[in-house]
């Protein structure tokens, strides 16, 4: 498949998607998001790919949804096309783990896309923000909801109401990103991290992801019960036998279901 707005690389067992609209700081237009959806679906269906990395350039992960594309839209346009659900939420539907490797600007829809991934690795130069308020709108791809869950009400509210940016240090301190890596090592580090996940038992990885995500959707008691039942079910897998036997025998496990 050929793409114009993204670069897609199979680095088995990791799939790499690089946003590639440098002239617009990777502003996310409809075509780019269509391509991203196709690429994610292709990786999801690809047995050789077991983890995915989404990244941008050193200057910008993505400076938001494409403002010039949105500028002339009216209410009935955005309502009728249900802007943006059709092609923006594939990352949240993907069952394989997705790491957002963010350098430079992750603003508006760019920050929202990063937050739809399973975790965010930030380069030292990363800057996060929801500046939509300055455009006379508000975040529309989950920013008010996901940022609040990541960083808490006070910081999310300040960011959404003022549009100010957060640097990598602040983002790590407040739980938005898992860790900070040197900018020139970002993609390499994200691929290495994804590669480590890809060596583990795939059913466990996919189920662990479901369980963590469940924490956002349910009560503590229900979430803990969901986790326990799934934990029990993993004892029916060959990989549980292999993982625990390998530990007892002091050897590296060879998981069957990768
Ligand atoms: C369209 C964009 C863009 C965007 C940058 N560009 N961001 N085009 N949509 N979101 C374009 C600029 O118009 C310019 O094109 C080129 O990229 C380089 O940008 P500059 O502004 O010249 O770069 P710089 O001075 O370095 O400033 C970087 C920046 C600034 C601080 C990131 O570009 C900026 O503020 N961008 C907008 C950020 C934003 O408001 N994002 C939220 C969008 S709304 P030309 O042709 O002039 O060279 C949103 C809603 C999501 O995301 C809701 C769900 C869909």
Closest CA to 203 of 192, 194, 193, 211: 211
DSSP 8-class letter at 73: -
pLDDT score for 258: 83
pTM of the predicted model over 0.90:
yes
Strand 98-102 to 51-55 pairing: parallel
pLDDT score for 257: 87
Specify the ligand 1 atom closest to the Cα of 66.
Answer: 9
| Pocket-forming residues, ligand 1, beta carbon under 6 Å | 24-25, 27, 63-68, 84, 105, 107-109, 131-132, 135, 139-141
Positions marked active-site: 65, 109, 112, 132
Does residue 67 have a cis peptide bond before it, meaning omega lies within 30 degrees of 0? Answer: no
**238-251 pLDDT, tens digit each:** 999 999 999 999 99
- 83 CA distance to ligand 1 middle (Å): 19
C-alpha–C-alpha distance, residues 44 and 71, integer Å: 33
**64-87 pLDDT, tens digit each:** 999 999 999 999 999 998 898 889
Cα dist from 195 to 31, 192, 207, 244, whole Å: 29, 5, 18, 21
Spell out the domains of the chain, with CATH numbers in brackets: 6-198 (3.90.226.10), 201-249 (1.10.12.10)
The answer to whether the complex's ipTM is over 0.90 is yes
Alpha helices, H only, the chain: 30-45, 67-70, 75-80, 85-88, 90-93, 109-116, 143-151, 153-162, 168-173, 186-198, 202-214, 220-234, 238-248
**141-174 pLDDT, tens digit each:** 999 999 999 999 999 999 999 999 999 999 999 9
C-alpha–C-alpha distance, residues 129 and 106, integer Å: 7
């Amino acid at each position: 498949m050929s793409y114009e707005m993204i670069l897609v690389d199979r680095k088995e067992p990791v799939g790499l998607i690089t946003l590639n609209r440098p002239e617009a700081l990777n502003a996310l237009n409809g075509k780019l998001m269509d391509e991203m959806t196709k690429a994610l679906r292709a990786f999801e269906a690809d047995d050789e790919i077991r983890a995915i990395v989404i990244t941008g350039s050193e200057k910008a992960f993505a400076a938001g949804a494409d403002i010039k594309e949105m500028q002339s839209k009216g209410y009935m346009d955005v309502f009728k096309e249900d802007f943006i659900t059709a092609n923006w939420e594939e990352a949240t539907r993907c069952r394989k783990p997705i790491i957002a490797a963010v350098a430079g600007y992750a603003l508006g829809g760019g920050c929202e896309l990063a937050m739809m991934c399973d975790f965010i690795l930030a380069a030292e130069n990363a800057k996060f923000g929801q500046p939509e308020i300055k455009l006379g709108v508000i975040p529309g791809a989950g920013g008010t909801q996901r940022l609040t869950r990541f960083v808490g009400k006070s910081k999310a509210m300040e960011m959404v109401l003022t549009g100010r940016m957060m640097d990598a240090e602040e983002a790590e301190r407040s739980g938005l990103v898992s860790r900070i890596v040197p900018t020139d090592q970002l993609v390499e580090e994200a691929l290495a991290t994804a590669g480590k996940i890809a060596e583990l038992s795939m059913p466990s990885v996919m189920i662990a992801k479901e369980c963590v995500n469940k924490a956002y959707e349910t009560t503590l008691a229900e979430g803990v019960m969901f986790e326990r039942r799934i934990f029990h079910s993993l004892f029916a897998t060959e990989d549980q036998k292999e993982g625990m036997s390998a530990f007892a025998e002091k050897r590296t496990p060879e998981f069957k279901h990768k």
